[in-house]
Amino acid sequence: MAETKKPIIFAPETYQYDKDSLDIGDVDQSPIEQFHKWFDEAQKSGEPLPESTNFSTASLPSGRVSSRVVLLKELDDTGFVVYSNWRDSKKGKDVQSNSYAALTFFWKTLQRQVRVEGLVEFVSKETNQRYFDTRPRGSRIGAWSSPQSHEISGREEFEKVYQQREKEFEGKEQIPCPDYWGGVRVVPLEIEFWQGRPSRLHDRIVFRRETVQSEWKVLRIAP
């Protein structure tokens, strides 16, 4: 009989969350405004890439979940916008079969987390081009060059295509945004603001609504 190895404990519970607290009376009536407040504080705290967020999607009918870290690029009264390739990528295929997605922000320096669950909608072509024009030239050419998430024989294959695209766009000030590349907005149905507290008795304030037209309900949930 094979000897059972002793499991390795990677994170013994020695770290305590003790920087702040959160109550229903502390949060703005609008979860979007509350997010803006916390995001500004994360920026000022020196948190590296506070706009980085874990974007989770699931395919149907399998229900298989996939996650990746992306960057939040826009936030308006409607929702949270991220940009990517939506034709070739796994997340693109997921949102074509399942319109629900989730975002998670974690700001270690402030011991805070924000979870967002909601419906995905594509932004307009005009919005896509407006943002695409702000990207570094190399990133715009890269969007035309990569069959994102598809198997390739090696990096040389990708770099060859990139060089071909470079020549194609040489001398052109504006590069058009590919039809398959652009933004999706996660329109929230639930936003949770999590503040770490000692003894793992964290503060969790949640905004919930049944539909995107419904009023927000604010509640505290157990840690």
Q: What CATH number is given to the structural domain containing 74?
A: 2.30.110.10
Alpha-carbon distance 45 to 192, whole Å? 21
Q: Is residue 22 part of a domain?
A: no
* Averaged pLDDT for residues 113-127: 96
Alpha-carbon distance 49 to 160, whole Å? 31
User: What is the pLDDT confidence band of residue 55, given thresholds at 50, 70 and 90?
Assistant: very high
Task: Give pLDDT, residue 156.
Answer: 86
* Averaged pLDDT for residues 41-52: 96
> 211 near 187, Cβ under 8 Å?
no
Q: Does the structure show a pLDDT above 80 at 149?
A: no
Task: Give pLDDT, residue 153.
Answer: 82
Alpha-carbon distance 205 to 202, whole Å? 10
* Averaged pLDDT for residues 157-167: 88
Say which residue the tokens 């990207």 belong to.
135
Higher pLDDT, 173 or 91: 91
Does residue 204 have an active-site annotation?
no
**121 bridge partner residues:** 185
Task: Give pLDDT, residue 15.
Answer: 79
Q: Is residue 195 part of a domain?
A: yes
Please state the domain count of the chain. Answer: 1
pLDDT averaged over the chain? 92
Task: Give pLDDT, residue 1.
Answer: 55
Q: Is residue 108 part of a domain?
A: yes
Q: Is residue 9 part of a domain?
A: no
Q: Residues 88-91: contacts with CB within 8 Å, 24+ apart?
A: 88/146, 88/147, 88/148, 88/149, 88/150, 88/180, 89/148, 89/149, 90/57, 90/66, 90/149, 91/55, 91/57, 91/66
User: What is the pLDDT confidence band of residue 2, given thresholds at 50, 70 and 90?
Assistant: low
Task: Give pLDDT, residue 84.
Answer: 92
pLDDT in tens, 6-23: 887 776 677 789 999 999
Task: Give pLDDT, residue 7.
Answer: 83
Task: Give pLDDT, residue 33.
Answer: 97
Q: Is residue 25 part of a domain?
A: no
Q: Does the structure show a pLDDT above 80 at 147?
A: no
Residue 161: closest CA among 147, 171, 177, 180? 147
Domain that holds residue 63: 31-133+180-220
3-class secondary structure, 186: strand
What the block records as the tokens of 201 is 């008795």
**Which one of the listed residues 64, 137, 200, 220 is annotated catalytic?**
200
As a whole-number percent, the residues of the chain with pLDDT over 90 amount to 78
- Within 52-208, strands assigned E span 52-58, 65-71, 74-75, 80-85, 100-107, 112-122, 181-195, 203-208
> 95 near 57, Cβ under 8 Å?
yes
96-134: b (≥16 Cβ within 10 Å) or e: eebebbbbbbbbeebbbbbbbbbbbbebeeebbeebbee
Alpha-carbon distance 88 to 148, whole Å? 5
Provide the whole-model pTM: 0.88
Alpha-carbon distance 222 to 219, whole Å? 10
Q: Is residue 216 part of a domain?
A: yes
Q: Does the structure show a pLDDT above 60 at 67?
A: yes
Q: Is residue 142 part of a domain?
A: no
Higher pLDDT, 8 or 81: 81
* Averaged pLDDT for residues 177-191: 95
